[in-house]
Amino acid sequence: MIKHSTLPEILRGAYQNFSSTSNFSIPVNGIEETESITELYPSICHLSEQLQKRGVQRGDKIALISSGSPDWIRCDIAIQLCGAVTVPLFPDLSEDIFKYEIEHAECKAIICLSKNSHAITRKNQDLVSFTILSSNDEIKEHSFDYESIINEKFNSEEALKHGDKAIEALNENDLVTIIYTSGSTGYPKGVELTHKNLCFQICQTQKRFPLVADKDIILSCLPLAHIFEKMVIYFYISCGVHIHFVDNINKVGEYLKSVKPSVITLVPRLLEKVYAKMYEKISESPPLKKALGLWAFNMAKNNDFSENKPILYPLANKLVLSKLQLAFGGNVRLALSGGAALNKNLNIFFNNIGIPLFQGYGLTESSPVICANYPNHHKTGTVGKVFPNIDLRIDEGTNEICSRGDHIMQGYHKDPDSTSATVIDGWLHTGDCGEVDSEGYLTITGRIKEIVKTSNGKYVSPVPIEQQLCSSPLIDMAMVVAEARKFCSCLIFLDPTTLDHYKEKNKITLSNDDLIKSEKFTTEIQAHIDHCNTKLSHWENIQKFCIIPNTISIQSGELTPTMKIKRHFIEKKYKDQIENIYNII
**pLDDT score recorded for residue 585:** 44
Low-confidence ranges of the chain (pLDDT < 70): 1-2, 136-140, 182-186, 449, 562, 584-585
Q: Is 219 exposed, middle or buried (0-12, 13-18, 19+ CB in 10 A)?
A: buried
* 535 & 573 share domain: yes
**pLDDT score recorded for residue 159:** 97
* 440 & 461 share domain: no
Ranges of beta strands (E only) in 448-518 are: 452-453, 459-460, 477-481, 488-493
* 380 & 496 share domain: no
With pLDDT > 90 as the criterion, what percentage of the chain qualifies?
64
* 383 & 506 share domain: no
Looking at the domain assignment, is residue 234 inside a domain? no
Of 162, 194, 226, which marks where a domain is finished?
Answer: 194
Looking at the domain assignment, is residue 2 inside a domain? no
**pLDDT score recorded for residue 184:** 46
How confident is the model over 353-392, as pLDDT tens digits?
999 999 999 999 999 999 999 999 999 989 999 999 999 9
* 58 & 111 share domain: yes
**pLDDT score recorded for residue 186:** 62
* 61 & 87 share domain: yes
* 409 & 512 share domain: no
Collapse the DSSP code of 556 into the 3-class scheme (helix H, G, I; strand E, B; otherwise coil) and give the result: coil
Residue 367 exposure: Cα atoms within 13 Å on the Cβ side: 31
Q: Which amino acid, one-letter code, is at 170?
A: L
Q: Mean pLDDT of all residues in the chain?
A: 91
What is the number of residues in the chain?
585
- Tell me the residue range of the domain where 398 lies: 369-444
Stated pTM of the model: 0.83
How many whole angstroms separate alpha carbon 362 and alpha carbon 348?
21
How confident is the model over 466-502, as pLDDT tens digits?
988 998 888 999 999 988 788 999 999 998 888 888 8
* 548 & 564 share domain: yes
Looking at the domain assignment, is residue 333 inside a domain? no
How many whole angstroms separate alpha carbon 206 and alpha carbon 197?
15
Torsion sign across C-alpha atoms 530, 533, 535, 537: negative
How confident is the model over 107-120, as pLDDT tens digits?
999 999 998 899 99
* 487 & 387 share domain: no
* 463 & 396 share domain: no
How many independent structural domains does the chain possess? 3
Among 354, 367, 346, smallest CA distance to 464 is for 346
CATH of the domain at 431: 2.30.38.10
CATH of the domain at 11: 3.40.50.12780
Residue 404 exposure: Cα atoms within 13 Å on the Cβ side: 9
* 490 & 567 share domain: yes
